[in-house]
Every structure is written in structure tokens, then in C-alpha cells.
Amino acid sequence: MIKEQCFGFLATPALWREMEFGIEQFVFPDIDLHGFTPRPILKKMRLGHQMEEVFSRLLIHDTTYELLLHNLPIKDHNRTIGEIDFILRHRETKKLIHVELTYKFYIVDPSLPEPIHRLVGPNRRDLFFSKMEKIRDRQFALLHTESGIKALSERGIDHEAIVHQACFKAQLFMPFQKPHIHIEPLNTACVYGYWLRLEDFDTADFKTYHYYLPIKSEWVVAPHNNVDWSSHSEILKEVRLRIENTSAPMVWLKKSDGQFEKLFVAWW
């Protein structure tokens, strides 16, 4: 699974290119995965923490950057006020880069007016705009607080020499009935599938296909044949249970010609 997660992570585009919203995207180096045998990751970890482990394993395998620190808590006396995701040093240029890592799954909600406000988590508890503002206004600033400066200085890192970047990757899911919605300046290459509601999923259009409900650690992975596929009637029972528990499941769909699709079934 870890290798598949790494492949999925590398294949996922950045949510925007270069500089947007006052945040510069970290450009991942071209990595040769020949001979790459990463250590397994605990499935009990939250998906965000799994992606941090994927990120660090990939960078350690590569030779472009030196990983100086990972998940450094910043404390004000005994109170933790934040955490630094990664500090990297380019081995050739010696450039110091602070990277805040984010890997998200967003559905695009056309009922919201502005493109950057339309990206919400499948359960509507996660907003792209709020996450972006937190990175720009809080996470980057954390390194230049008194506590942040002290923590970095103790590790021989000059906070004034650091460049701030985000590695913000995302899979986007368009509404089934409106697949072509304006999301610029966001990257349209991030569109991986669509979302729909239960009443749309429970129609004749979907009854002839086969389905699989991936566990969350598989969400990053491209759909493939090596899983136990179910009929529409079988998967519908499980989807209904998830919906009753106000949880929007990701679903893999396999067509008769072998093509795959990814989708979310919304409960709200």
C-alpha cells in the first residue's frame, strides 16, 4: 500500500501553479523510484499524517533536499502554539525552505459564488479558503514568533534565511450534473471525478457497473482491479449506512470496458 500511496501522491497535481493567494507552491523534484522500498505506514494514522510520512520518505529517497526537521512543535512556555511541518535544505544551493504540506479531497459546490469558496470537504466540514488562509497567515508567521525563532535557533536554523512554500495537492470532484464549473485560478488538472447525491446514485444509470468502497488510506490511490468488486445493489447498502452516519463515502466505479471512475456520494 505504501508504494501505491507514494505513486498516487506524486501523480496528484498541485492545486495551483507557482504563486497564488500569496503562497508559493513547492515544486517536487523528479524522483527516480527504481529500488524504492519505503517502510510501511500505520493505517491507524490520520490520512494527513500518512501523507506527511509519504512526503518524508520520498524526499529521503531522493538526493535533492536534506530534511532538517519534520513536525516540530512550537511551544510558548508549556503551551503548544503550532507545529512546523518541514524544513528542507537544497543540497546544492543551500537554500532553506519551510514547506507546509496539505493533501485534500474537495467537492466543488456550485451553490457558492466565488471559485475559491466552492471547494469544500465531502462532509462540508473542511473549507479550502480557511485552510489556505491558515497556512499563509498563521503557519508561515509561526516561524517568526519569539517561540518559533528560539526553536529554530536551537537547531542552528536562521529564521530570516527561510523561504516559505506550500506543497498543496488536491483531488477535486465536480457535481455530476454540472461537470464544467469555473475554478480558475485553481488547477483544472486536479479534477479526479464527480460527486452526486444518493437519489442520483440509486438510478438505472449506475446499476450495471461494479463498485468498491476504498478505505481512507486508499483514497490517494488510482482505482485498480485488485480489490473485491461488488454489484450496485450490494454497494448501495453500505453507501446508505455511511449516509445515515453523515459520512460521504468515496466510491470506485468500474465499467464493463474496464474504465474506472472516482466519485463521492454526498449525504447533505
Q: State whether 83 and 118 are in the same domain.
A: yes
**Domain endpoint, select from 172, 202, 218:** 172
Q: What is the pLDDT of residues 28-70, one digit of tens each?
A: 999 988 888 888 888 788 999 999 999 999 999 998 999 999 9
Q: What is the mean pLDDT of residues 66-83?
A: 94
Residues 73 and 9 in one domain: yes
Cα dihedral sign for 114, 180, 8, 63? negative
Question: What gap in Å lies between CA 218 and CA 106, rounded to an integer?
Answer: 16
Whether the predicted pLDDT of 192 surpasses 80:
yes
Q: Are residues 239 and 168 in the same domain?
A: no
pLDDT-based confidence at 86, cuts 50/70/90? very high
Cα separation of 205 and 253, whole Å? 12
Model's pTM, two decimal places? 0.94
90 and 192 housed in the same domain:
no
- Check: CB of residue 227 under 8 Å from CB of residue 159: no
Domain co-membership, 153 together with 258: no
Q: Last residue of a domain, which of 172, 193, 210?
A: 172
Spatial CB neighbours of 6, under 8 Å, sequence gap ≥ 6: 33, 36, 38, 54, 57, 58
Domain end point (choices 172, 196, 230): 172
d(CA 51, CA 112): 29
Give the pLDDT confidence score for residue 66 in this predicted structure.
97
Domain tally, the chain: 2
Could you list the residue range(s) of the whole structural domain that residue 211 is in?
A: 180-266
For residues 95-118, average pLDDT: 94
pLDDT interval class at 15 (50, 70, 90): very high
Check whether residue 163 and residue 258 sit in a common domain. Answer: no
State mean pLDDT over 122-150.
Answer: 97
Statement to judge: residues 200 and 128 lie in one domain: no
164-190 per-position pLDDT tens digit: 999 999 999 999 988 788 888 999 999
Q: Rounded to an integer, what distance in angstroms lies between the CA atom of residue 124 and that of residue 268?
A: 8
Looking at the structure, tell me whether residues 116 and 167 fall in a common domain.
yes
pLDDT tens digits for range 229-258: 999 999 999 999 999 999 999 999 999 999
92: CB partners within 8 A, 6+ apart: none
Same structural domain, 197 and 259 = yes
3-state secondary structure (DSSP) of residue 144: coil
Same structural domain, 19 and 151: yes
155 and 27 in a common domain: yes
- 215 and 151 assigned to the same domain: no
